Chain A
Amino acid sequence: MTDRERLKALLIDTFLLDPEEFRFDLQRAQVDTWDSLGVVSLAVGVEQTFGYHLTPEEAMSLDGVPALVAILQREGISCGG
């Protein structure tokens, strides 16, 4: 499984998404489970999946999947398209 595929699976499981509705350009405002508790779940899942600890500021500032991809790529995790 590639990092991109692992990220997709993580986001689907964290936010309880229908796989059919997932897109890599999803914005936070389009995901009702991406609330303050979703931010916590996502930070836990990113650390578990990629070993990267999102700072609280990073986790809170994410406005969508592209922003998360950008952070992970900066950390050498190749999940871009």
Chain B
Amino acid sequence: MAASAALRSARAQAVWTRAELCAADLGRAAHWTTPSLRQRVTQALRWPAVDSLAEPLPPLDTLIAVGGGTLLDQAKLLRWQRHPELRLIAVPSLWGSGAESSPVAVINTPEGKAITVDDGLLPEVRVSWPELLESVPEGRLRQGSGDAWAHALEGFLSPLAGPDLRRDLAALMRRMLAVGLGRDPRWLELCAQASAAQARSSVGLVHGIAHVLESAGATDAAGQRLGHAALCATWLWPVLRFDEQTSGKVGRLLAEHAIEAAAVWATARALCDEALNQRLGPLLRAHWPTVLRDRCTRTNCALVRPNALEFFTAPEGFAVPGASGGPA
């Protein structure tokens, strides 16, 4: 699937298959792989593994980072800050974050999420290796698709999006609708393109809430920590409803770009776990001032006023009897 010009970053990035990676001349190379996949990746590649990115690294021309968004962002930052001479190859072991295709790195700090944006963060190569995702649970992949939908929709609605980017994101969202939310390796490319595109405008309140609640230690009913993708997936629908109710931009822009609005609303609704959102209400209330100051919240397509909290913590929830998912 060829990325259109507007979906390319300012810095070119090559897209390889696993076979192309294995055949490439990478000079002195090593891979840094998430522990659960290290043995498998070591067997598949001819280059050695490094156990960590702690200094000093062995002399290298190329670092191959294999993992989820957090690991890829750590590798991007290390190369950008300390080893700009390294060629970086990113191999996602999950779809969703699109960290492999964006010039953005997000890391956890004691003060919350720190976001760095620089063209130098973009890996030179990203590799599509769908077999690495075979053991990922269905629910986790679905959340990853929710993260990609949040990237695409918030990037599309962003006040910083120009007409070319909106047109290309509209085309991307039509492909996302056609693929659906199931386990489908085409999501690897869709997520990569959605992430690259949002980096050229901005994301919004979905990401603002996700950043803050993840840092605040949000958990599900079983006490499991909720990651970025899970939070984006479940907050997408309420935020879209808020955006539409407050600004009317969602319906107008979807119509202007001939995107089937009912299908978008239904997808967002399907990704939402309303019981989870209700459960997270008190945590959201406690951290709402931080959400308001998050840089993503501040580029939401609709102004997020302090009293918007009441919309997201209403005791009756977001569901409107008889509504199909879109605004009542």
Q: Which residues of A contact B (CB under 8 A)?
A: 10, 13-14, 16, 33, 37-38, 40-41, 43-45, 48-49
Contacts and interface: CB of A to CB of B under 8 A. Distances in A.
Given A14-B305, A37-B295, 9 more contacts: A13-B306, A13-B307, A16-B289, A16-B292, A40-B202, A44-B302, A44-B303, A48-B246, A48-B247
Nearest to B307: A13
A33 B300 CA distance: 15
Contacts of B121: none
B306 A16 contact: yes
Interface residues of B, number: 18
B303 A13 contact: yes
5 contacts: A16-B293, A16-B306, A44-B300, A44-B302, A48-B246
B301 interface: yes
Nearest to A45: B303
Interface of B: 159-160, 202, 246-247, 289, 292-293, 295, 298-303, 305-307
A50 to B, nearest CB: 12
Contacts of A38: 298
Nearest to B158: A40
Given A13-B306, A16-B306, A44 B301 contact: yes
A43 B303 CA distance: 9
A33 B305 CA distance: 14
User: Helix, strand, loop or mixed for chain A's interface?
Assistant: helix
Nearest first, the 3 A-B pairs at minimum CB distance are A45-B303, A13-B305, A37-B298
Contacts of B300: 44
Contacts of B293: 16, 33
Contacts, number: 37
Given A37-B298, A43-B159, A44-B159, A14 B303 contact: yes
B244 to A, nearest CB: 12
A67 to B, nearest CB: 19
A43 B158 CA distance: 12
Nearest to B246: A48
Contacts of A49: 303
Contact of A40 (B160, B246, B247, B292): B160
B127 to A, nearest CB: 34
Contacts of B246: 48
Q: Which of B247, B301, B305 has the most CB of A within 10 A?
A: B305
B298 A40 contact: yes
Contacts of B289: 16
A37 B298 CA distance: 6
Contacts of A43: 159
A37 B160 CA distance: 11
B260 to A, nearest CB: 26
A45 B300 CA distance: 10
B201 to A, nearest CB: 11
A16 B288 CA distance: 12
Nearest to A49: B303
B306 A41 contact: no
A7 to B, nearest CB: 13
B308 to A, nearest CB: 9
Nearest to B295: A37
B293 to A, nearest CB: 7
Q: Which of A33, A43, A48 has the most CB of B within 10 A?
A: A48
